[in-house]
Structure 1
């Protein structure tokens, strides 16, 4: 990277969040939010192509990357990720930012933009058009699944090498490239007795007991007032076509048709220069 990022900690109601930043003196300020079980290093290749004058902030969500895990008996809720965003802005003294979110990070970016419109100047979504949602009838099954998952003890699996950890990522994410998997594993593992383990809290694998159904999500999405930019990969993850059309049509401030880039779900790691070029066009 042309400029090193400073590593620091911000406080989220007593929980230590890891943030990396390039504190340039001028605008714009851009906050990057990573995907589920990933970490802020997933954006490193993109950041290397962005203007030196931009202030960049890369957050590790709670229980992921180098951020702290919640305590015994606690769980992770979707609203906690929005709190992480707010704690980061407050901790760094940022009134408003442009937000770039991949996958889960994009869902959080949309929710936060709806809840705090005065603090979000624009949202760029990478492979992200909201949660799975579903009908209201899914609420009971979701709660039952969460209760069942809570009975399973968290297990931090050990791996003998970074390559073995990367192979596990490839099993779970078939569109991930070998190079991206190795990079995520290299920055997302730590030494433990018996080898290496991923830094994310294994409790993240438990299902949420509460979530948005489709009507709730669309109502929330309707309150986004800032410009929204959408980047999709040609071989990325998708909802069904009807739902995709509904979500896109529901984004009232979508600045232009979605940009389709050849690649998989982690397209920002595969084609960082192309994604960076799109960000430069979108962010002012």
Structure 2
């Protein structure tokens, strides 16, 4: 390994919160420029294990587990997993680490959380890196359903609380991995890495660490309209890099022409509002390209982190 990249060794962090703790893993020196790494929905901090060792030293990379994910505490009974609560977790982590300014590197759902944080606290975010992700989720054709989503989240939370408490299911490693890949075909060999942090080994198999309340994805996502998107990004001060995988996801729920059109709308608006502060690069790979083929994105991210100039055009 060259001297200009981060050592592969990492340390575990445990940051106290009112309901428990946020778990995280860190690479590099605490004196380096901070980069907070945000994983995707139902994933965990291991999402960045293969990428961060390829990135430049001089930065302090901290990959956190969102609440209810990985090794972080579950939310207390009665406290739902609202999208804004995840945004608040970033602010709590930043305060615990005593950072005044940071960069964010986000994958998938982490991008919507990091994007919202970057617009609410624009003075705190220097650079925003979106890995096959967007800073907000738009549901342009279903604005009338926004209130339905919020109602469903409340009803789902109450329903889950009425269910009797039962022990976590114990499943063999092979079956657990099979279910992972069955639910997400783009994960492929990355599933094993996420299982290492997302499960606990018991005598007869594995149990999932995550809170079962977070499994209904679209209820906890915060969908916004085009008008809201246009207003929100005017608050964004960060230099922003969006890396799209050519075989990745074009939308949060369905891959169709409407999602591709929505992505095009967001990219065009980011270009027009942020101007030279926005960069867009498409790379070969799936939604988990930063795990399966991290070298496809490492040099792009390294150039972006180390310079305010535009990254070189990709062949």
Q: Which residue in the other structure is 1:271 paired with?
A: 293
Q: Which range moves more in the overlay, 183-192 or 84-93?
A: 183-192
Structure 2 CA distance, aligned partners of 1:25 and 1:210? 32
Structure 1 CA distance, aligned partners of 2:7 and 2:28? 14
Q: CA offsets, 1:222-246, max 9 Å, x none?
A: 3111111001111111132221111
**CA separation of 1:186/1:23 partners in 2, compared to 1, >3 Å: closer, same or farther?**
closer
Cα deviation, residue 26, structure 1: 4.3
Does the alignment pair 1:227 with 2:239? Answer: yes
Root mean square deviation of aligned Cα: 2.3
Cα deviation, residue 211, structure 1: 3.0
Structure 1: gaps of 5 or more residues:
none
TM-score normalised by L of structure 1: 0.91
- Are the aligned partners of 2:83 and 2:220 in contact in 1 as well (CA < 8 Å)? no
- Are the aligned partners of 2:55 and 2:298 in contact in 1 as well (CA < 8 Å)? yes
Does the alignment pair 1:211 with 2:218? Answer: no
Q: Which range moves more in the overlay, 138-147 or 230-239?
A: 138-147
Query: Structure 1 segments of 4 or more deviating over 4 A?
Result: 154-157
- Are the aligned partners of 1:39 and 1:64 in contact in 2 as well (CA < 8 Å)? yes
Does the alignment pair 1:40 with 2:61? Answer: no
Q: Which residue in the other structure is 2:196 paired with?
A: 186
- Are the aligned partners of 1:222 and 1:250 in contact in 2 as well (CA < 8 Å)? no
- Are the aligned partners of 2:71 and 2:197 in contact in 1 as well (CA < 8 Å)? no
- Are the aligned partners of 1:133 and 1:211 in contact in 2 as well (CA < 8 Å)? no
Q: Which residue in the other structure is 2:169 paired with?
A: 158
Cα deviation, residue 112, structure 1: 0.7
Cα deviation, residue 260, structure 1: 1.3
Structure 2: gaps of 5 or more residues:
1-5, 252-258, 307-315
Structure 2 CA distance, aligned partners of 1:216 and 1:49? 36
| Count of residues in correspondence between the two structures | 283
- Are the aligned partners of 2:173 and 2:205 in contact in 1 as well (CA < 8 Å)? no
Cα deviation, residue 209, structure 1: 6.6
Cα deviation, residue 192, structure 1: 4.8
Does the alignment pair 1:92 with 2:111? Answer: no
Q: Which SS does the other structure have where 1:258 is aligned?
A: strand
TM-score normalised by L of structure 2: 0.82
1:141 to 148, 152, 168: 148
Cα deviation, residue 71, structure 1: 1.3
Q: CA offsets, 1:58-114, max 9 Å, x none?
A: 111111111000111221011111111111111111111111000111111111111
Structure 1 CA distance, aligned partners of 2:220 and 2:186? 28
